[in-house]
Amino acid sequence: SYVLTQPPSVSVAPGQTARITCGGNNIRSKSVHWYQQKPGQAPVLVVYADSDRPSGIPERFSGSNSGNTATLTISRVEAGDEADYYCQVWDGTSDHWVFGGGTKLTVL
């Protein structure tokens, strides 16, 4: 089955840029989605189809996908961005949705 690998944690100072990676075999051939989840809340879609943003999501959130790595980039990080972030793909070979293990973003 398809596996997505994320770093367990990423730390960044306010105002800096956070980059959260999501590794998968030839992930560039798949459409990657990213979710933000704050404690006690349901996840929120922040990037879909590699690099598109749903309405209401700040432009500070962007995504890219190349080779074996997809990346969620958060520019000008704010304290309110502190959360768990998950990447996700649809694996058409197994007809399964797959989530990465999640990355905890800490704003220093």
Partner 1 sequence: EVQLLESGGGLVQPGGSLRLSCAASGFSFSRYAMTWVRQAPGKGLEWVSSISDSGDSTYHADSVKGRFTISRDNSKNTVFLAMDTLRAEDTAVYYCAKIKSGSFSFGFDYWGQGTLVTVSS
Positions that interact with partner 1 (CB under 8 A) = 1, 31, 33, 35, 37, 42-45, 48-49, 54, 84, 86, 88, 90, 92, 95-102
CA distances (Å), origin 91, targets 17, 22, 30, 73: 30, 15, 8, 23
Task: Tell me how far, at minimum, the Cβ of 13 lies from partner 1, in Å.
Answer: 26
Nearer to partner 1, 17 or 66 (CB): 66
Other Cβ atoms closer than 10 A to 3:
11
* Minimum CB distance to partner 1 smaller for 103 or for 107: 103
The least CB distance from residue 16 to partner 1, in Å, is 25
Residue among 68, 107, 60 at smallest CA distance from 87: 68
